[in-house]
Amino acid sequence: MDISIKPSDVDFSTFFGKKVTEVTLVGAELINVIFENGNLNVECPWRLRNRDGILVGATEQRGIGFLSTLKKYLLEIPITKIYHYEPTEDLIIEFNKKLYLDLFADSTSFEQYQLYEGDSLFLIGK
């Protein structure tokens, strides 16, 4: 049985070097990460981590500074690499300072995320 996942062939280089300009909450657990000339709407489980562990995740209690933690670590930080995996559609965005925003696709019923370059849809996690 082959249970492996593999990196996709999508070229994400257009996003490299783009800095995060805003992070907003959309509903209870969803986030929108806005960066120079694009954005990422996240509608699936996610976590922000560094090499020491998880900094904040989608299921955190809101009273502990959920949004402020995201902003503290991501604002003005550039994207350095994006990893996209098949067939699960998981996405990892690597930022300068060795930060990683991991998105975990968890449904066949709805879109996991939408990545935009400017106003144009670049990739849908489905």
Question: Is 115 part of a structural domain of the chain?
Answer: no
Question: Is 17 part of a structural domain of the chain?
Answer: yes
Question: Is 120 part of a structural domain of the chain?
Answer: no
Are 46 and 104 in contact by the 8 Å Cβ rule? The answer is yes
Taking alpha carbons only, the member of 31, 28, 60, 45 closest to residue 91 is 45
Range with the poorest average pLDDT among 5-9, 23-27, 67-71, 88-92: 23-27
Task: State the pLDDT at residue 4.
Answer: 80
> What pLDDT digit, counting tens, does each position of 91-105 carry?
999 999 899 999 998
- Domain with 101 in it: 11-107
Report residue 67's pLDDT band, with 50, 70 and 90 as the boundaries.
Answer: confident
Question: Is 126 part of a structural domain of the chain?
Answer: no
**Alpha carbon distance 34, 53 (integer Å):** 24
Task: State the pLDDT at residue 28.
Answer: 66
Number of domains the chain is built from: 1
Question: Is 83 part of a structural domain of the chain?
Answer: yes
Question: Is 50 part of a structural domain of the chain?
Answer: yes
Task: State the pLDDT at residue 61.
Answer: 67
Question: Is 72 part of a structural domain of the chain?
Answer: yes
Task: State the pLDDT at residue 64.
Answer: 61
Are 80 and 16 in contact by the 8 Å Cβ rule? The answer is yes
Q: Average pLDDT, whole number, for the chain? A: 91
Range with the poorest average pLDDT among 8-17, 19-28, 31-40: 19-28
Half-sphere exposure of 71 (CA within 13 A, CB side): 9
Question: Is 124 part of a structural domain of the chain?
Answer: no
